[in-house]
Amino acid sequence: MPATAPGYYLLPCLLLLALVAWNPASAQDDDPHQVPLRELEKTFTGDLPEMRKRKRIRALVTYSRTDFFFDHGRARGIQVEFLQAYEKFINKGVKRATDQIHITYLPVTFDQLIPALRAGKGDIAAAFLTVTPEREKKVAFATGGKLKVRELVVTHKDTSGIESVQDLSGKSVYVLKDSSYVRHLEQLNLQLRRARKPPVRIVPADPNLLSEDILELVNAGVVPITIVDDYKARGWKKVLPDIRVHETVSIRDDNTVGWATRRQNPELGKSLDRFARKVGKGTLLGNMLFRRYYRDTRWIDNPVSREQRKRQERFIALFRKYGKRYGFDHLALMAQAYQESGLDNRKKSHRGAVGIMQLLPSTAADPHVNVKNIRQLENNIHAGTKYLAFLRDRYFNDPGISHKNRLAFTWAAYNTGPASLRKVRDKAKKMGLDPNVWFGNVELAAGRYIGKEPVQYVANIYKYYVAYKLADELADRKKKHRRTASAGTDRPG
């Protein structure tokens, strides 16, 4: 919904808040975990003795409702718990607080964990990374030999015929980008080819999605099959009723997982190994993960369910029409409409926003929009799209802003207002963030200075957009398959 009207939330918040995006009301100026971002961005590759002199270790973490997030200004997540325990471990015997070393959390996307570590942008890649030969050429691992996982096949409950890994032959499997799952599926494909069977179609996820997001898409029926580590699959099974975890079907067993460090930092690696040997999988990885981090989780509504698909068929021509007129992907417009109203043109908010795009009549009457009778479906879509185009062209026409970020900024401005977003972009620049990039940059400033609403709003729409794109691509593949099959039957014998 535009400007100050409340959003229509169906998804759990990804809480994509960074190091500096804590609750100002509860944060302390002298919080040892918070330092200027520009200082942290300086390249540093020294080992543990140098880190002790700096009194700081930088932990690269991924945004996730289980690994790292902020809850009322407090850093939470399973990796935070481990890092806090390591901070106590490494400071044991150090009595003076001014001599203690502190761990700072630096959120990055999953595919940047190892590159950022190697580039000296962080000191520990704090995620349960599977140890693979390819990764060991790039980084060292601290595991203590304690954490072992299996990579299990997870499907929607209605997906049948998966009794062994061989049954993945010819099927599409949607997996975390740059993960060990990709490599292990590639190894499976070698076996399938030797057996003269069709390979698995490996579909890397959008880099802004994590395993939890993919599991939500499987639960919703958008994605039929994925691969996830066993502890994560079992945990999410508790809150996602429509996924099926295939305990007897794994593409890899007995994987060792752990944190990664630079190979030229052996002292830090030894310290982490000693710590890891003291940490049992049962208590932390079990009780914390299952009881603390999977409680009260809401899951994604399915924007491409059969019922929703019927609604979309009624609206899609109008979204195509006005998307083409104003230069938007019609699927992006539909994703926003789903976030706003659930594609229900009868919806009306308590603030007076109406229709499928949840537009205020005053906004529609503005000279820059000037579309009347917005209670009528087509006019509502027209007015909402025209307003989006006005926001995009007036406020985000800088050639330095990429297409994806221009779209994200436009969504955010639709939700919180362009003036508010302009101020928060200025704040982002002062925080050392890129004011032309929403994901991982301006959204962090928005989370701090505006609140979670615009962050969640854009994240929700983006996830719906991905779901629509997947469904659209699947439909196209089916059409091509039918055409191919039809052409084959038409050939003379």
Residue numbers annotated as active site: 340
Whether residue 456 contacts residue 13, with contact meaning beta carbons closer than 8 Å, is answered with yes
Per the structure block, which two tokens stand in for 366? 């503005």
Q: Reduced to 3 states, what is the DSSP secondary structure of residue 430? A: helix
Distance CA 282, CA 115 (A): 31
Give 336's Cβ-side CA count (13 Å radius).
29
The region, left, alpha or beta by phi > 0 then psi within -120 to 50, assigned to residue 196 is left
Placement of tokens 């310290």 in the chain: 271
E strands, 35-108, in order: 56-62, 69-71, 74-76, 102-108
Distance CA 173, CA 246 (A): 14
Distance CA 23, CA 385 (A): 34
Question: Got the DSSP string for 10-46?
Answer: -SPP-----TT-S-TTT--TT-TT---HHHHTS----
Distance CA 120, CA 114 (A): 10
Distance CA 403, CA 401 (A): 7
Distance CA 282, CA 272 (A): 19
Which ranges of 220-329 does DSSP label H, i.e. alpha helix? Answer: 230-237, 266-277, 306-326
